[in-house]
Amino acid sequence: MKEGFGVNDRCSPREAKVVQQLRLEAGFNQVKASQAAADLKEFCLKNAQRDPLLTGTSPNTNPFRPQKFCSFL
């Protein structure tokens, strides 16, 4: 008799998929939330000069500016 069981031994296909996903996620390297927040803050501060939401865009290069239409009378 087996000690453990494989994913497909006693599981429905849906349960087998969940087990497979959980095994995948268990192998991820976890980072503390405080460290992740510090890393994100550092990244944002380092790249702030290139962020168009902070620095704005010139009217000539803004892709969201209203389009000008030419009309002839």
d(CA 47, CA 61): 20
Spell out the SS3 assignment of 14-41. Answer: HHHHHHHHHHHHHCCCCCCHHHHHHHHH
pTM for this model (two decimals): 0.46
> What is the distance in angstroms between the CA of the first residue and the CA of the last residue of the chain?
90
Q: What is the pLDDT of residue 1?
A: 38
Q: Using one digit for the tens of pLDDT, what is the confidence trace for 1-41? A: 344 555 546 779 999 999 999 999 999 898 999 999 999 99
pLDDT band at 47 (very low <50, low <70, confident <90, very high): very high
Determine the 3-state secondary structure of 69 from DSSP.
coil
